[in-house]
Amino acid sequence: MAKETYAEAFEELQRIVEEIERGDISLDLISGKVKRATRLIRICREKLASVEEDVNQILKELEQEG
Tens digit of pLDDT for each residue in 6-63? 999 999 999 999 999 999 888 889 999 999 999 999 999 999 999 999 999 999 999 9
Among candidate residues 60, 57, 47, 61, the one with its CA nearest the CA of residue 8: 47
The more confidently predicted of residues 64 and 2 is 64
Q: What value, to the nearest 5°, has the Cα angle with vertex 41 and ends 37 and 43?
A: 115
Q: What value, to the nearest 5°, has the Cα angle with vertex 7 and ends 17 and 18?
A: 15
In this prediction, residue 60 carries a pLDDT of 96
pTM: 0.82
Confidence of residue 2 (pLDDT cuts 50, 70, 90): low
In this prediction, residue 1 carries a pLDDT of 45
Q: What SS3 class is residue 17? A: helix
Angle formed by the axes of helices 27-65 and 6-22, nearest 10° = 150
Q: What are phi and psi of 24, to 5 degrees?
A: -80, 0
